[in-house]
A and B are shown apart, each in its own frame.
Chain A
Amino acid sequence: AQSVTQPDIHITVSEGASLELRCNYSYGATPYLFWYVQSPGQGLQLLLKYFSGDTLVQGIKGFEAEFKRSQSSFNLRKPSVHWSDAAEYFCAVGSNYQLIWGAGTKLIIKP
């Protein structure tokens, strides 16, 4: 069955610390991979996507993600988080925007 797992429901990090949000997927073929962010009161915003090519993808707001086929993972990273990064982050896989979504990870930033 196709699925996306974000094992961490909540993550708390200190401002300025590094961040890694985990995403594992199960999909029949090599999927398109996405990370979205939803800030309070806002819509879902695309952070980055992987379709093919370089497996290290750079996104907006200083985020990057690495596609590891052998591990079926697409983890999101940021070297130094800012208070404005507090939001909910969603990993999604699929094609033609018939996406399969993870349950989301809420990021809490400690001052």
Chain B
Amino acid sequence: EAGVTQFPSHSVIEKGQTVTLRCDPISGHDNLYWYRRVMGKEIKFLLHFVKESKQDESGMPNNRFLAERTGGTYSTLKVQPAELEDSGVYFCASSQAPNTEAFFGQGTRLTVV
């Protein structure tokens, strides 16, 4: 069974450009989470989907970030326009239900220059 996969694994973009990160959860997992780790700091929760609905997006830093999960399958996280402080590793995780084990992808390392 495939785990959580994230694309791309690395992305280097210029300030002001747009980047879209993708997460494919484990098949059948209704719950999908995005987290971010800015260099040298803690991992921070961004948002939680249940199927295609945003259950909690309290961690989204600002309106330059847009997450979608059309059809309740894969999810995308778009940053537009990217700023230098958006650099970090973006993790996606999925679980069958809240408070059950969440499985993480390997992360996307985003570098904004």
Contact = CB atoms under 8 A, between A and B. Distances in A.
Given A43-B4, A43-B107, A97 B41 contact: no
B1 interface: no
A16 B35 CA distance: 34
Interface in A88-105: 90, 92, 95-104
B43 A98 contact: no
B98 interface: yes
A44 B91 contact: yes
B101 A95 contact: no
Interface string B22-64: 0000000001010100001111110010000000101100000
Interface residues of B, number: 27
Contacts, number: 57
B95 interface: yes
A53 interface: no
Contacts of A49: 101
A32 B48 CA distance: 17
Given A41-B106, A43-B105, A45-B104, A99 B4 contact: no
B21 interface: no
A92 to B, nearest CB: 8
Contacts of B105: 43
A96 B4 contact: no
B43 A101 contact: yes
B99 A46 contact: no
B99 A101 contact: no
Nearest to B89: A38
